[in-house]
Amino acid sequence: MTATYRNPVLNADWSDPDVIRVGEDFYLTVSTFTKVPGLPILHSRDLVNWTIIGHAVTGGYDDVRPGCGVWAPSLRHHGGRFWIFYGDPDVGICWVGAQDPRGPWSEPHVVKPGLGLIDPCPLWDDDGQAYLVHGWAKSRAGVNNRLTMHRMAPDGSAVLDEGTLVIDADLLPGYRTLEGPKLYKRDGVYWIFAPAGGVEQGWQSVFRSESVFGPYEDRIVLEQGGTDVNGPHQGGWVDTPSGGHWFMHFQDRGPYGRVVHLQPMRWNGGWPVMGADGEPVPGGPVPVPGGEPGEPAVSDDFAGPGLGLQWSWQANPDPSWWELRDGRLRLACVPGPEDLRERPSVLGQRLPGDPCTVTTSLTLEGEGRAGLAVVGFTAASVGLERTGDKTVLVCGDMEPVPVEDGGPVTVGARVGAGALVTFLADTGEGPREIGEPFQATQGRWVGAVLGLYAAGSGAGQAIFDAFTVDIER
């Protein structure tokens, strides 16, 4: 362990983060759109070293719907219970709850139905009243760049009024796409932390008022300035047991997704000051010294009893798709769309933000095709294809290479700077580069994923040995 940290502290697609402290423990969750399971729960003791401890949502859609599902969440602890409020732009504002952050979590409850309702955040006030603020998605609601406040039943069962427009950013010079609000109260003052300007080139603002319904005055508190941290975009404010203040936010990095930065924060003249006088810092002292080292898992030895918590499906999985047995992952060669971007049965995880090499050993039994893929707006893969008793190694437009007895064959990918992917294979003569280099691309508000897949009529199966990710730092 070192006494300093380097940004980003979560260097992969941990989008729209929100963070809280409960005692000496920190918890973080992020948006997952239509990935299943969704809403991962991460735990830390120092805000720098994080591990995945579970998921709050276990179901989703039966088909792949890019950009739908679970949008930006807010994580809170109230009344001895953990709450996550999130917007599904096609359903409304929902929440799930749990006594233990590791689960089990309740089924989603819709607190306000409607189209285009996104980015909700609750606040339970000192007098027992509860409030809920949210933003708007123009794609469904026809409006955005505004925040609406509701009174809410303290048990979260429903909103209690039609809502009050508390911030109309169309009236603020230079503002566009105000979203992602987080609602707080400090020393009798109500605060809304919210980004604007878009995820790639925007900034972080805060709004303060002596009344939860406003009027609010605003100030930009974090922007790119002379740094290379574009955005910087939405996140959450958290304190430490010793009284320090910190802000965690994301930076959009294209094919790598939305990586998470940690900024020191202090109060000056009644306003928060983030980073180095309003610009992102490259790193600094660890907020809570002495924490345990840790990072979200990437490799998986498939020893079970379940899949590693880093994995997710592109839509609701069928239990018949997969099995862990004898330290191997077995994927059934099931029917589905030929396009991997549309196939629910792709098992994926986040693309690391640092250069890395990914390898796994693959055997194909029976007819079908299977392999390792990189999936975003575009997709490419390396793997095996078997018809009758003939098995070949395939990768893009290259000429198929015969493989004896269906494998095993080691397949892999080297992901270099800028997320340029070079596929690898070892058919017994040592690993070599195959196919043409592939430029990984982001998906619909998500980064590219590393995926394993198996496709066919259902008769065959793919057997994967340990999935290994070696990250270069």
Which of 349, 472, 371 is closest to 415 using CA atoms? 472
Which of 33, 53, 140, 46 is closest to 103 using CA atoms? 53
Known catalytic membership, residue 338? no
Q: With contact defined as beta carbons under 8 Å apart, do 180 and 233 qualify?
A: yes
* Residue 32, both tokens: 């997952």
Out of 13, 18, 179, 367, pick the active-site residue: 179
Out of 13, 16, 367, 385, pick the active-site residue: 16
Query: In Å, what is the CA distance from 306 to each residue of 302, 311, 325, 329?
Result: 8, 10, 10, 10
Query: Residue 390 and residue 387: Cα distance in Å, rounded?
Result: 5
147: Cβ contacts below 8 Å, ≥ 6 apart:
133, 134, 135, 165, 166, 167, 169, 178, 181, 192, 194
Q: With contact defined as beta carbons under 8 Å apart, do 190 and 208 qualify?
A: yes
User: How many residues make up the chain in this entry?
Assistant: 473
Query: Residue 57 and residue 37: Cα distance in Å, rounded?
Result: 6
Chain centroid, CA 414 distance in Å: 22
Query: Residue 69 and residue 90: Cα distance in Å, rounded?
Result: 8
Q: Would you call the peptide bond into 8 cis, given omega within 30 degrees of 0 as the criterion? A: yes
Chain centroid, CA 86 distance in Å: 13
Buried b (16+ CB within 10 A) or exposed e, 422-437: bbbbbbeeeeeebbee
Known catalytic membership, residue 179? yes
Which of 73, 80, 79, 115 is closest to 95 using CA atoms? 73
CA angle 441-446-448, nearest 5°? 40
Query: Residue 44 and residue 51: Cα distance in Å, rounded?
Result: 7
CA angle 349-355-360, nearest 5°? 50
Chain centroid, CA 98 distance in Å: 20
Q: What is the CA radius of gyration of the chain?
A: 23
Query: Residue 345 and residue 453: Cα distance in Å, rounded?
Result: 7
Query: Residue 47 and residue 54: Cα distance in Å, rounded?
Result: 18
* Residue 46, both tokens: 């120092």
Q: With contact defined as beta carbons under 8 Å apart, do 315 and 63 qualify?
A: yes
Query: Residue 331 and residue 455: Cα distance in Å, rounded?
Result: 9
The residues annotated with a catalytic role in the active site are: 16, 179
